[in-house]
Amino acid sequence: MKKEVQKGALIFIVMAGIFCMTASVGAVEVVSGKILRFSQFDLTFSGAEQKNSAYGLAAVDFRMLTSTTGISTGYLNISTSAGWVVQNMLVDSASGYPGSSTIFNLGNPAGVDVRSLKAYADFSVKPSTNFSGTPSTSFVVGNLSYNAQGRGNLISIPPPSPITPVIKWQSGGITEWVQQQFRKSVEQDLNQCGPASFANSLQYLEDEYGIDVPHDHKPGIDGDPNDSLVGDIDEKMDRDPQGTVSDEEFIEGKLEYIAENDIGDDLDIKHWGGEFLPGDRTHHGLTSADESNGISLMDWIIQEIKSGEDVELALSGGVFHWVNVTDAGKTLGIPWISWTHDANQGTNDDGTTAENGGTKWYDGGVGWSPVIDGEIPFFFFEGDFTSANLDFAVSESKSEPEPPCGLSIFVIGLLGLGALFLRRRQSRQSGSGGSQKETQPKEEMKEEL
């Protein structure tokens, strides 16, 4: 059973039925390189460069996939000679994004230039517990640069080759998700992920809730130019050009920016600190409350996004990094997240931010990954690390918010058997007479987004 309830701008979808399958049911094979784009990463981390890495990027055009298959919400699966490399990637045309991407095991030894890839890909309305298909379609493989870090420690050696993960998808496991629609992501200076993730959050809150943010959402470094949001946050977090920020500098700089720009009364600020940022943190007269007791970080993230909060997530491993979580959920009992960031941070020779891509869906700027035991596979690691750990997260929202116009929440559970779909819409009451009105959909995003 599938139930959709829209109250104002808040959408709930409930589907019932037990997912128990060994192949994609009702699947449509994807053979177009315009719908599904593959790239090989050149890693450009300073001191840890690796040309022609074994890491690939699979990027999918949501609108083309939907128009070709007739499926608006479903799951992308891809197999290659390296195995089931993309597993149950959620594609939902209601997300507001034109597409998304995921990092995968390209299957080549590091240093080998990959120009083409044989793969089998399909798109289905239900997730799979098992997947196989003969990799017979040849896709062109492009080339992208990757450099995304800046949370304290910097990667010091190139990562080892990835291993395709074995994920124990649970037949009958819960499937649910929550989404925040399209947000703007600023191009970043080298190692500027901390200030930029907070800048992206503030711009989202201004766009969705009308929070008055006095700076412009454009590139900047250490206060230059003086109207740049991320540039001003750089100063508050005591980040030097091309430098990193510690966790303490992040939370204190965040509170300082909010306090000095008189938007503290408009926001609720909290965090899931765990062992990395334990306890409430007070700075400049504002407090971020620690809510990590009694709830896992993954469940807290889902809860926060469902409540209309904006979430910045701290990752560690070989790469220490900050991202903005946009979507989160579970598929057949396995958690997953989607995020935005700059996958290709850079600095020009004149010291300004290099606007060289890395913030779009097709170049790694909009990412998706399953979360296995609190870790993200394939987020660039080194040494003994085999994945990126979800360490802690910080959130903020308009005080006592109504759900924003860009928020969609989806819940899918085991409510019974069958594939009956029920649909119900409720619209926010307006006026003293209690009349009904439907929220209009957002304008369709353009390709360059």
Domain residues of the chain, as ranges? 24-145
| Nearest of 382, 435, 313 to residue 47 by alpha carbon | 382
Asked if residue 225 has a cis previous peptide bond (ω within 30° of 0), the answer is: yes
277-331 pLDDT, tens digit per residue, is 999 999 999 999 999 999 999 999 999 999 889 999 999 877 899 999 999 999 9
d(CA 327, CA 436): 29
d(CA 330, CA 173): 9
**pLDDT tier for residue 407 given thresholds of 50, 70 and 90:** low
User: What single-letter amino acid sits at 350?
Assistant: D
- Residue 124: strand, helix, or coil: strand
Please tell me the predicted confidence (pLDDT) of residue 171.
94
Judge contact between 321 and 329, C-beta under 8 A.
Answer: no
Dist. CA 159–CA 302, nearest whole Å: 30
Q: Tell me, what amino acid is at 414?
A: L
Q: Which residue has the higher pLDDT, 156 or 394?
A: 394
Tokens for 25, please give them. 């049911």
What does each C-alpha distance from 150 to 4, 196, 238, 314, 406 come to in angstroms? 40, 10, 13, 10, 29
Per residue in 193-210, pLDDT tens? 999 999 999 999 999 999
| Between 330 and 377, the higher pLDDT residue | 330
pLDDT at 432: 37
**Residue 144 bridge partners (DSSP):** 41
User: End-to-end CA distance of the chain, in Å?
Assistant: 34
Find, among 434, 447, 366, 448, the residue nearest to 103 by Cα: 366
| Global confidence as pTM | 0.85
At 65, give phi and psi (nearest 5°): -65, -45
Residue 435 has pLDDT above 80, yes or no: no
Is it the case that residue 382 has pLDDT exceeding 90? no
Q: Please say if the pLDDT value at position 241 is more than 90.
A: yes
- Residue 437: pLDDT band (50, 70, 90) is very low
Stated as kind and residue range, the H or E segment containing 39 is strand 36-43
Residue 344: Cβ within 10 Å count? 24
> Who has greater pLDDT, 365 or 444?
365
Mean of the per-residue pLDDT values of the chain: 85
3-class SS string, 191-212: CCHHHHHHHHHHHHHHHHHCCC
- State the Cα–Cα distance between residues 255 and 424, nearest whole angstrom: 41
Q: 306: which 2 tokens?
A: 């469902």
**Helix, coil or strand: residue 297:** helix
Matching residue, tokens 């995020």: 339
* Residue 60 backbone class (left: φ over 0; alpha: ψ -120 to 50; beta: rest): beta
Q: Give which of 319, 310, 318, 306 is closest to 339, Cα–Cα.
A: 310
